[in-house]
Structure 1
């Protein structure tokens, strides 16, 4: 039986979701177009209505309580149901429309997706596209993301998976560097070379090599480390050392001859090795805007991924 007393709580619950997602009253209030004090009063009103404390508030941080997490999880389901109702109401529209938020690793976004976004938006003028550069595991519901591209051999089992093709890691250096320093013939040889790596985690300078039943885990070093693929590639082109890149990042550089692959008979593996995967939440009613985006990118990327030379 429908409880009419819940109706006044619905906008407050939606505001609560935004506070959790943004991590602060100030950021959430800015998106809602209200003052932080007004939003704080909204959350206090919600806490009183629910007879539970949603946050532990300090001067420096906002920490969600255990009860607050449960309320958040249920509130997200409510918002998703509302979104599905909106999608159903728009399903009869001939032209896909509305806002679509996608995420992708920065290197893939810059090298592969960027040239496809303009044509997509021209083809579907009623769609508003929001793009976020995000690496690693992504909580689609928490971040309000409709679909995410991932480079992985371990896709999220809780999401729908559409595999677009393989992505390989390629070790390369400039011809000038190899002429001056010699070309490695074994993974162990890299320990005598300058290597460029990500420097995001403690293990980013540990490179794993496989060939048939042989395996080597090599700790490399170098004077330059950066977690931006284009900056790292520019460093390799300038002769600063040997670097690892996804095939789609260095495709043009390989064709131009500004870099050369090394240790080609070895397979390199990392957290971002495996499949180009497009993942999204399971839904009985998929919005037309998401369906056309998936179809468009699947069709365009199938050819691009297979065309990579590595």
Structure 2
């Protein structure tokens, strides 16, 4: 059997935590996928899954092999992109992960400019903005305010954005305005678990407060939508809610202290200078580097 095909089947099975889900994703029959997994296990000389009647978990050997398999498939994709860009006009697909509110308010215009310049490249935008998505191959580029450190990724600063506290007028009418940090603890707050996993809002280098979360999510878009509907106070970058502020759906809350700005970053794996990913990142950085979005 083809080693790379079997490797991809293995990785897809782990991501879905299901052979049936992986077979649907890959467009192969469950029996064919099972044969590929068996062949791979025979090839490496170790069982990769602990099979039960309901679920298949990775063995210790499978855990190790999975981490290397992700890197192998990602490196192969990067190598192909690099060769494609050397041998002909740039073409292919770039998958970008970012908060959808950021794509809507800022990035869509930059994507347009890039596609005009490179019409044979396809951009696919995924809602998210979680840097590990680049490591596991779900995206090629991640644009996010999350400050993530990993030796497998290139991280470059893009721009800074003013951060603030916001709520709807309906929420303020019902619950009043907090006028100090201490009063925030008595309000309904909408918490982003990626940036505030311990329920603490780092308002500035000198001011941090633990808040009560009536709703906790990894998605800033969900939190913004719920804040607009009067569910609570959200601590978010102004660049993400430009439309909501303009439409009057959200208003700023002043608690009497200056809040720190947020730096947005772009993440990708190491690639050749001529690769599509490098072309994309360089153009985005050229447009945004050092600017203050407000």
CA distance in 1, matches of 2:192, 2:76: 42
- 1:190 corresponds in structure 2 to 184
For 1:247, the equivalent position in structure 2 comes to 238
Q: Look up the match of 1:262.
A: 253
1:86 and 2:83 aligned: no
Q: Which residue of 2 aligns with 1:290?
A: 277
Aligned length in residues: 292
Structure 2 unaligned segments of length 5 or more: list them: none
* Residue number in structure 2 paired with 1:3: none
Given that 1:21 and 1:142 are in contact with CA atoms closer than 8 Å, whether structure 2 keeps it comes out as: no
User: What is the alpha-carbon distance in structure 2 between the residues aligned to residue 24 and residue 142 of structure 1?
Assistant: 17
CA distance in 2, matches of 1:59, 1:102: 37
Go from structure 1 to structure 2 and tell me whether the alpha carbon gap of 1:33 and 1:286 turns closer, same or farther (over 3 Å shift): farther
Q: Is the 8 A contact 2:41 2:47 kept in 1?
A: yes
> Aligned partners of 1:178 and 1:20: how far apart in 2?
46
**Normalized against structure 2, the TM-score is what?**
0.79
Residue deviations 1:210-258 (CA, integer Å, cap 9, x gap): 5675x45243466xx3645456445545555533222112234445555
The answer (yes or no) to whether the contact 1:197–1:205 under 8 Å persists in 2 is: no
Distance 1:129 1:255, change over 3 A: closer
Match of 1:128 among 115, 119, 122: 122
User: 1:219 maps to which residue?
Assistant: 211
Structure 1 residues 230, 79: closer, same or farther in 2, change over 3 A?
A: closer
C-alpha distance in structure 2 between counterparts of 1:91 and 1:175, whole Å = 51
2:255 equivalent to 1:280: no
Q: Confirm or deny: 8 A CA contact 1:196 1:241 kept in the other structure.
A: yes
> Is the contact between residue 208 and residue 268 of structure 1 (CA under 8 Å) also seen in structure 2?
no
1:282 aligns to what SS in structure 2? coil
**Contact 2:140/2:277 (<8 A) preserved:** yes
What is the CA–CA distance in structure 2 between the aligned matches of 1:164 and 1:281, rounded to whole Å?
A: 16
What TM-score comes out, normalization by structure 1 length? 0.76
- Structure-2 residue corresponding to 1:306: 292
Secondary structure of the residue aligned to 2:35 is helix
Q: How far apart in 2 are the matches of 1:168 and 1:232?
A: 17
Structure label with greater radius of gyration: 1
- Residues of 2 paired with 1:226 and 1:78: CA distance? 35
TM superposition shift of 1:306: 1.3
Q: Partners of 1:253 and 1:81 in 2: how far apart?
A: 40
Q: Does 1:39 align with 2:33?
A: yes
Q: How far did residue 186 of structure 1 move?
A: 1.1
Pick closer, same or farther for the CA change 1:169–1:9 going to 2, 3 Å. Answer: same
User: Aligned Cα RMSD in Å?
Assistant: 3.5
Distance 1:77 1:212 in 2: 36
SS of the residue aligned with 1:143?
coil
Secondary structure of 1:95 counterpart: coil
Q: Is residue 2:160 matched to residue 1:173?
A: no
Q: What whole-Å deviation, never above 9, does each CA across 1:88-118 have from its counterpart, x for those lacking one?
A: 4323345210121121234433433344434
Q: Where do 5+ consecutive residues of structure 1 fail to align?
A: 1-6
Match of 2:102 among 99, 108, 114: 108
